[in-house]
Amino acid sequence: MTSIAKPRIEQHLLRNKLGLTVRDYEGGMSTLCAGCGHDSVTAAMVRAFYELNLEPHTAAKISGIGCSSKTTAYFLGQSHGVNAVHGRMPSVATGAAAANGQLHYIGVSGDGDSLSIGLGQFCHAIRRNVNMLYVLENNGVYGLTKGQFSAAADFGSKSKKGEPNPHTPIDPVKLAITLGATFVARSFSGDKSQLVPLIKAAVMHKGFALIDVISPCVTFNDHVGSTKSYAHTFEYYHPAIHADYIEPSAEIKAEYEKGAVMEVELHDGSKIALKKADDDLNPRDRGDVLAYLSRHEALNEVVTGLLFVDDEKLDMNGRNKLPDAPLNNLPYEKLTPGAAALAELQKDYC
Amino acid sequence: MNVVTEAVAGSRVNDFVIKIATVNGTGSASANTLLMKTIFRMGVPVVGKNLFPSNIQGLPTWYEIRVTKDAYQARTGAVDLAVAMNADTYAQDLEKTAPGGYLIYDSSWPRPQLLSRDDVNVIGVPLSAMVNERFDTARIRVLMKNMAYVGAVAALVNLDMEVIRGLVTETFGTKKHLIDGNMEAIDLGYRYVLENFTCPLPIRVEHSDKTDGYIMIDGNTAAGLGCVYAGATFGAWYPITPSTSLMDGYKMFCEKYRVDPETGEHNYCIIQAEDELASIGMVIGASWNGARAFTPTSGPGISLMSEFIGFAYYGEVPAVLFNVQRTGPSTGLPTRTQQSDILTCAYASHGDTKHILLFPSDPKECFEMAVEAFELAEWFQTPVFVVSDIDIGMNDWMVPKLEWDDNWQPNRGKVLSAEQLENIDKFYRYLDVDGDGVPYRTLPGEHPKGAYFTRGSGHDKFGLYTENSDKYKDVLDRIATKIDNAKSRVPAPIIKKAAKKTRWGVISVGSSNGATVEAIDRLATEDIHLDYLRVRGFPFSEDVDKFVDEHDAVFIVEQNRDGQLRSLILNETTAEKKKLKSVLWYSGKVPDCRFVVNGIKAHIAEESA
């Protein structure tokens, strides 16, 4: 049962600028396994929306099929949600975004959902630069069907039964960068301090924002020999660029060393402050990022952070010249040519 | 088998068939349209059928123009005047010409003697020679040769040259050199024939007034226009023959009527999806979010969309799908027509599903049913299919002018506004508040109280996930009731009683109507009288049950191998199986009335044997 209501205990909780508590951003009780990485992502999502001071009903959640896709029921209970069919969350999000560009679209998917049947839709949502946050909760296995490798499983990574994966993986981060994605990040469910600000920046980015979150499966892929286990991820964790979201009026906090911070201005005047761990990485240069990823991959490292960002490109609705007013709510008078026009146009058909 | 023969006998004014054989990709379409429109403008009803290959350039293609003073809508199956412009099909074209008929060929090159026929009047016109002498480049020569055969046909069947000139002028507008060039080519053919043959032929066109108040339009364009008038703001599609021109039509009209003159903003959105899996997903996303959204496709697309169709049925998301049917299974004959997706559409997807279908029989109904499809989809919160086909979708049909009532407003169905949500205690998505099987829905972003979760997994009437059998069944049964209630809301069947009381009935659907109507007229002259019902919507109106009940035998005319409409009627009405007799056509070619005449006669003979 995925619809168990959480008890609401609100006393003494802090309130955000809207007077809402984190409870107002929660959803139903999770039915995932205890310790599942996905639940940490859910918690980060709740925290990010709370901190962004967004009204919960201005978000819309869309997911596909799989453990990760179930999580949209566990946060933002006051938002509409669609749990669609396998691998096809991106198309639903695309149609929804076109119908109303004023909502914050959150797509949640997994490696099974996004990188096999969903690979085409994943790529095409990137191409179109659909204005959405796309969280790919990546654990390298199919959980609901009991532990088969997914297309994200690393070459040689071992299954629970000890079989090594004979195939090379599809890396959603590198794929997204090559396809022209405008916001590409990788994170880890075990690092909330990195993930929460990343989600905030991704939500406010106007365009397609991918966060590939390594989110270990405690039941089927958390053993020795797996490259998607908690232990392996912690050991090889390499936070390359930390991103902070800064509201339009706020100042960048002084804790950064001068010169180490790179600012990216977003369409609404807010900013993303990027703090790099390494000098040889430029998050505005796709080739640079890909080369950096290859170098660190050779060391088995899990490179995380906001790896590429570009807030300049028009999003899908901009490319389609859509008005700011949602299409779903245009008065009929703006849509019908009327009887006189019908009579007139038929002169071409006589 | 008793074959109805078509012989050219004596003078046939405004009642004959011209068939033009050309090579695909030579630009003959505009010449053929010019011929057809000239006849239409002379006030004489016409039927135009394009028989084209799945090819861009080089394969044979035919265009058939039936001049029909009685305004029939089907082919006749006969050819009275063949225009044999394709050397590769010359033998075939000559063979298909009716005894006593005529054949025009390009006499610039010698014609093999063995292909002559004594009972066909062969008319040689040196089209290439004349055109090559007058025009320069290869491409222009090809195009002008088409215009030259227009002139030759015009002289032979008495077409009004002023009407032709008017149409050419409208086509090329201010480009005078194009008007002059085309008219010159037409004149070459016209004058040569006038000077060398006795004109006009006994088969000829004479001015009439039977096309006043009519237009010539194809079903896809009309359906695209219907989407504009319905207030559809979102269309997603993947290119597939023969539905592509539907989105082309929608786009053309949107560019004309939906672009804000001041801001340049588009009050519509069209997305060419990566495939049909995605196009239906986009439609569902947009519809869920409150836009009127649609996708045009054909059978293979419906197959790909099927999983999502079941999701929309069970999650109760509106969606409008146009299935312009083509010949299956698989790739089949992708440029030929069939009505072979009736069952696929009625029950698309896994699990227990049933969908609302609308069956237009001509482009006017494509326009009207496009509008109706959105009304039904939003009212019943479910996918609705407009089931058309290549014949309706891609051929130009003569239909009464389309009409619109400026007082019409879309009925967006049971959608709660922010104000309504503010004033209710709690909103439950799948609760049957009104007892009609249709629950209320809300749109994302409208109000915090409106939030609900749309899922394809088991849910109860409150919208919550459930694996409880009773709660699951409760929702599934309500949806069945909801869809059943649509039977009184879909367009009612058209029933035409025979002049004399009869124990026989005929049922047809969509583009089978033309051949069926003509067959019923023919059979009446042989004292076989038939009542007629044309199905226009599914779930079937109770009129269908009643119609079958009132007759001893009912002949079901449709264009597929397996009698899909018959199966659907058997499955969904009280009709007795032995009463329903199939009359089938599934060659992929647009049918003429002979298969109906012969099929019904065979059944009657069998019955009395």
The per-residue pLDDT for range B134-165, each reduced to its tens digit, is 999 999 999 999 999 999 999 999 999 999 99
Token pair for residue B589? 């070619």
* Residues sharing a CB contact under 8 Å with residue A12, sequence separation 6 or more, in sequence order: none
Distance CA A177, CA A285 (A): 10
Give the pLDDT of residue B474. Answer: 98
E strand intervals along B44-144: 46-51, 60-68, 79-84, 97-106, 121-125
Measured at the alpha carbon of residue B20, what is the angle toward residues B17 and B25, in degrees to the nearest 5?
150
Residue of B nearest to A321 (CA): B265
d(C-alpha A303, C-alpha B370), whole Å: 52
- C-beta atoms surrounding B528 within 10 Å: 17
Q: Is the CB of A349 less than 8 angstroms away from the CB of B256?
A: no
Predicted confidence (pLDDT) at residue A254 exceeds the cutoff of 50: no
Give pLDDT, residue A12. 82
Share of chain A above pLDDT 70, in %: 95
Q: Extract the tokens encoding A13.
A: 């909780």
Contact A130, A90 (CB under 8 A): yes
Q: Determine contact: A124 vs chain B, CB below 8 A.
A: yes
List the single residue in A with minimal CA-CA distance to B170.
Answer: A348
**3-class DSSP state for residue B360?**
coil
- Residue B286 is nearest to which of A80, A96, A334, comparing CB atoms? A96
- Token match 């699951």: residue? B472
Mean pLDDT of B356-385: 98
**Tens digits of per-residue pLDDT, B381-399?**
999 999 999 999 999 999 9
B491: left (phi over 0), alpha (psi -120 to 50) or beta: beta
Query: Do A88 and B291 lie within an 8 Å CB cutoff?
Result: no
Radius of gyration of chain A (CA): 21
Task: Please give, rounded to a whole number of angstroms, the shortest distance from the CA of A285 to a CA of chain B.
Answer: 28
Cβ atoms within 10 Å, residue B122: 18
Q: Give the per-residue pLDDT at A279.
A: 87
pLDDT value at residue B607:
87
Interface contact A289, partner B, CB < 8 A: no
CB contact under 8 A, A91 and B282: yes
- Cα gap B321→B314, rounded to integer Å: 16
CB contact under 8 A, B404 and A102: no
Distance CA B439, CA B451 (A): 15
pLDDT tens, B5-21?
344 445 699 999 999 99
Contact assignment for A120 to B446 by CB distance below 8 Å: no
Beta-carbon separation of B267 and A346 below 8 A: no
* Cα–Cα distance for residue pair B360/B225, rounded to 1 Å: 15
Distance CA B424, CA B582 (A): 54
Residue found by looking up tokens 């035919």 in the block = B62
Mean pLDDT of A135-156: 95
pLDDT the model gives residue B182: 97
CATH of domain B494-608: 3.40.50.920
- Using DSSP's 3-state secondary structure scheme, residue B241 falls into coil
Of A90, A338, A349, the CB nearest to B404: A338
Say whether B494-608 and B222-400 share the same fold: yes
- Nearest-Cα distance to chain B for A269, in Å, is 23
**Region B458-481: what's the mean pLDDT?**
97
Cβ of A88 and B278 within 8 Å?
yes
pLDDT for B303 equals 98
Q: CA A135 to CA A108: how far, in whole Å?
A: 5
**Is the distance from CB of A157 to CB of A227 less than 8 angstroms?**
yes
Q: How high is the pLDDT of residue B438?
A: 98
SS3 content of chain B, % helix, strand, coil (to 5): 40, 20, 40
Out of B257, B283, B451, closest to residue A95 by CB: B283
Whole-angstrom distance, CA of residue A272 vs CA of residue A265: 6
- pLDDT value of residue B8: 43
Chain A nearest-CA distance from B272, in A, is 11
pLDDT of residue B255: 98
Distance CA B216, CA B65 (A): 13
A229: β partners? none
B165: tokens are 């000139």
What's the whole-number mean pLDDT along residues A145-174?
Answer: 96
Assess A31–B contact: CB distance below 8 Å, yes or no.
no
Contacts of A265 (CB under 8 A, 6+ apart): A271, A311
Minimal C-alpha gap between B258 and chain A (Å): 6
The average pLDDT across A227-232 equals 96
| Cα–Cα distance, B307 to B276 (Å, whole number) | 11
A261 burial class (0-12, 13-18, 19+ CB within 10 angstroms)? middle
The two three-digit tokens of residue A89, written as one number? 């969350």
- Using an 8 Å CB-CB cutoff, list chain A residues near B275: 120
Q: Give A49→chain B minimum CA distance, Å.
A: 15
Query: What single letter denotes the amino acid at residue B191?
Result: R
Please report, for chain B, the start and end positions of each structural domain, with discontinuous segments joined by +: 12-204, 222-400, 418-488, 494-608
Domains and CATH numbers, chain A: 22-332 (3.40.50.970)
3-class DSSP string for chain A: CCCCCCCCCCCCCCCCCCCCCHHHHECCCCCCCCCCHHHHHHHHHHHHHHHCCCCHHHEEEEECCCHHHHHHHCECCCCEEEECCCCCHHHHHHHHHHHCCCCEEEEEEEHHHHHCCCHHHHHHHHHHCCCEEEEEEECCEECCCCCEECCCCCCCCECCCCCECCCCCCCHHHHHHHCCCCEEEEEECCCHHHHHHHHHHHHHCCCEEEEEEECCCCCCCCCCCCCCCHHHHHHHEEEEEEEEEECCCCCCCCCCCCCCEEEEECCCCCEEEEEECCCCCCCCCHHHHHHHHHHHHCCCCEEEEEEEECCCCCCHHHHCCCCCCCHHHCCHHHCCCHHHHHHHHHHHHC
Task: Kindly determine whether residue B453 and residue A80, on different chains, have CB atoms separated by under 8 Å.
Answer: yes
Determine the angle formed by the axes of helices B594-608 and B513-525, rounding to 10 degrees.
50
Rounded Cα distance, B413 and B152, in Å = 57
Q: Which helix (H) or strand (E) holds B161?
A: helix B161-172
Could you tell me which residues are beta bridge partners of residue B218?
B396
Tell if the CB–CB gap between B467 and A334 is shorter than 8 Å: no
Closest CA to B15 of B214, B201, B216, B213: B201
Q: Is B446's CB within 8 Å of A57's CB?
A: yes
Q: Residue B291 and residue A55: Cβ atoms within 8 Å?
A: no
| pTM confidence score | 0.96
Predicted confidence (pLDDT) at residue A273 exceeds the cutoff of 80: yes
Instruction: Find the mean pLDDT for residues B59-66.
Output: 96
Token digits of residue B10: 């004596």
pLDDT tens-digit readout, B213-268 = 999 999 999 999 999 999 999 999 999 999 999 999 999 999 999 999 999 999 99
Q: What is the pLDDT of residue B3?
A: 34
Asked if the Cβ–Cβ distance from B291 to A328 is below 8 Å, we say yes
A19 touches chain B (CB under 8 A): no
**A334 inside 8 A of chain B by CB:** yes
Q: CB A2 to CB B465 under 8 A?
A: yes
Say whether residue A82 is in contact with chain B using an 8 A CB cutoff.
Answer: yes
pLDDT (mean) for A23-28: 95
Contact at 8 Å (CB) between B143 and B27? Answer: yes
SS (H, E, C) B372-392: HHHHHHHHHCCEEEEEEEHHH
- CA neighbor of B235 nearest in space, from B245, B250, B221, B220: B250
Mean pLDDT for chain A overall: 94
- Judged by CB atoms closer than 8 Å, whether chains meet at B404 and A329 is answered as no
In the predicted structure, residue B333 carries a pLDDT above the cut 90 = yes
- Which residues of B fall within a CB distance of 8 Å from A96? 285-286, 288-289, 444
Confidence at B30, pLDDT banded by 50, 70, 90: very high
Chain A partners within 8 Å of B39 (Cβ): none
Chain B residues touching residue A94 (CB < 8 angstroms): 236, 271, 278, 281-282, 285
Residue A45 main-chain phi, psi, to 5 deg: -65, -45
Q: Which residue of B has its CA nearest to A323?
A: B265
Give CA–CA dist A61/B210, Å, rounded. Answer: 58
Report how far residue B232's alpha carbon sits from residue A256's, in angstroms, rounded to the nearest whole number.
Answer: 51
Mean pLDDT of chain B: 95
Q: What residues of A are in contact with residue B446 (Cβ under 8 Å)?
A: 57
Residue from B260, B389, B380, B293 nearest B337 by CA: B389
pLDDT tier for residue B109 given thresholds of 50, 70 and 90: confident
Residue B389 is predicted with a pLDDT of 98
Taking an 8 Å cut-off on Cβ atoms, the answer to whether A57 and B445 are in contact is yes
| Cα–Cα nearest to B583, from B606, B546, B551, B554 | B554
Q: Could you give the CA distance from residue B475 to residue B481 in angstroms, rounded to a whole number? A: 10
Q: What is the mean pLDDT of residues A248-267?
A: 71
Average pLDDT of the residues in A211-237: 96
Cβ contacts (< 8 Å) between A2 and chain B: which residues?
Answer: 465
B448 to A78: CB separation less than 8 angstroms, yes or no: yes
Q: Does any CB of chain B come closer than 8 Å to the CB of residue A249?
A: no
Name the residue in chain B with its Cα closest to that of A345. Answer: B253
Confidence of residue A248 (pLDDT cuts 50, 70, 90): confident
Q: Tell me whether 0.90 is exceeded by the ipTM.
A: yes
| Max Cα-Cα span within chain B | 89
Contact call for residues A202 and A181 (beta carbons, < 8 A): no
Cα A279–chain centre separation = 26
Minimal Cα distance from B466: which residue of A?
A: A1
CATH superfamily of B12-204: Pyruvate-ferredoxin oxidoreductase, PFOR, domain III (3.40.920.10)
Tokens of A261: 């911070």
CATH for B222-400? Answer: 3.40.50.970
Interchain CB contacts (distance < 8 Å): A and B: 231
Pairing status of strand A148-149 against strand A141-142:
antiparallel
Q: Is the pLDDT of residue B436 over 60?
A: yes
